[in-house]
Structure 1
Amino acid sequence: MPKVKEFLKNHKQFLLGLYIFIYAPWFAYLESAITTNYHVIHTALDDRIPFCEYFVLPYYAWFGYVGVIAVFIAIKDGPTCWKMGMYLLTGMTIFLIISSLYPNGLNLRPQVFPRENFCTALVQAMYRTDTPTNVLPSLHVYNAIGMHITLCVSPLLKNRRKIKAGSLVLMLLIVLSTMFIKQHSVIDVAAACLMAAIMYGVSFIILPRAVRSYKAKEKSVKTGMQI
């Protein structure tokens, strides 16, 4: 326990993980409560995107992508972690509020798969456990974009172009996967991209700049008082 306390003392950013105790029960309630009488998200473009079960692989890769980057940044780069945390927690809270006030869902999933293979089995298993409700905006897309942004802004990876390029490719595949396995509408994805752009500006630029300005003024005042 002393080692854990010492670790948390030096890595307070890990306390951001406590948000799971807010998000998990709230989302679980929405999943159980919103089963009928919800607005169906749909656009004509959704019908032009074919179902492709192979995209389930990058879809599931999201879990490792988000988890590995989040833990790595939390351990190695505290300042960037706080920015990432602000981005993720604010976006996820906005998602919960939207889902609570505007019940929504999809009717895009195929009734019959065009073929049977390992990937269609994975998609079928996912359909059984993940309801087609609470989809706007897509957190799968929003969080994936956030992880790529985090890698790009972290000074730890300043000159690691190959890692950033690989991250970009995986992030784009994850975004596309949500539409090709019919987990999200184009509208969900567009909304997630818009929210990501706004929250990038707020979490990674505006707030850090405001904090630096505040600390500079505070330091100036203290210096003046000492003189």
Structure 2
Amino acid sequence: MNSLFNLLKKNKHILLLFYWPVNLVWYQLMRIYGDRMPRFYLVSSPIDDYIPFCEWFVLPYVTWYFYIIAVLIYTLVKGKREFLKASGMIMGCMFLSMLITTIFPSGISESIRPDFTALGRDNILIDIVKYLYSIDSPPRVVMPSMHAGVAAALFIVVMKAESLKGKTWIKAGSFLLSFSICLSIVLIKQHSYLDGIAGVALAILLYFIVYKIIFRIKKVRDDR
């Protein structure tokens, strides 16, 4: 136990990981009570009606969780500076997504989800989608999409990582995965496309805050 305390004392940035359970509890509370708040917004667009359902995209949707873990572990191993940038992007995106949806509670209508009895097919991927629907019904806490925002944030972290300079294939893979995740939220009917756009916009905003302001100021101070 003492060794754990000593580790945390020497590496206080690791404490940022304790935000995860806070975010999870916050998310569950908003999912349950969001539509009971005085103002609640249903997000919808006619464009959503033209986007087909594709169960194959549940694979990148679920991969999102492992993607986050992989990037956080990698940056943690590579050093404090890399980890703080990654945490600023990932956890910043999560925090601001939750803050926005707390101030402006939002959801989507279940009518955009497919009628599986009329779909004409059944497979293990559809079973996974059904399970996701069962634990997230009715769909709440949607704008901005945390999935899309964090996926974009993860790509930015990989692109800007000093330890990954010249690793073109890793960056290309990160782009494809992040892009697939952004597509997945609308193709498995978890979000309106508007939620995805808002999530990516949030990640871009955080890029300027984390990389162009916070760490640029820190670099200037360190160079003095």
Number of equivalenced pairs: 217
- SS for the counterpart of 1:34 is helix
For residue 13 of structure 1, what is the aligned residue in structure 2? 13
| 1:103 corresponds to 2:105 | yes
CA contact (8 A) 1:40 1:105 kept: yes
Cα distance between partner residues in 2 of 1:166 and 1:215: 33
Cα distance between partner residues in 2 of 1:190 and 1:8: 37
Cα distance between partner residues in 2 of 1:173 and 1:96: 23
1:165-216 CA-to-partner distances (Å, cap 9, x unmatched) read: 1111111111101110001111001101111111111112211111222344
Q: Percent identity?
A: 29
| 1:127 corresponds to 2:133 | yes
Cα distance between partner residues in 2 of 1:143 and 1:193: 8
Length-normalised TM-score, structure 1: 0.88
1:119-150 CA-to-partner distances (Å, cap 9, x unmatched) read: 11110011001231110001001111111111
Cα distance between partner residues in 2 of 1:154 and 1:136: 28
Cα distance between partner residues in 2 of 1:215 and 1:162: 32
Cα distance between partner residues in 1 of 2:152 and 2:10: 28
Question: Is there any run of 5+ residues in structure 2 with no aligned partner, and where?
Answer: none
CA contact (8 A) 2:144 2:196 kept: yes
Cα distance between partner residues in 2 of 1:13 and 1:143: 20
Cα distance between partner residues in 2 of 1:39 and 1:111: 24
Length-normalised TM-score, structure 2: 0.90
Q: 2:122 aligns with which of 94, 105, 116?
A: 116
The Cα shift of 1:10 comes to 4.2
**CA distance 1:60–1:72, shift in 2 (3 Å):** same
For residue 189 of structure 1, what is the aligned residue in structure 2? 196
Equivalent residue letter for 2:114: P
Instruction: Note the 1:15-164 alignment, pairs <5 A.
Output: 15-35=15-35, 38-107=40-109, 108-112=112-116, 114=119, 115-131=121-137, 132-164=139-171
Q: CA RMSD in A?
A: 1.7
Instruction: Note the 1:192-203 alignment, pairs <5 A.
Output: 192-203=199-210
Cα distance between partner residues in 1 of 2:205 and 2:187: 26
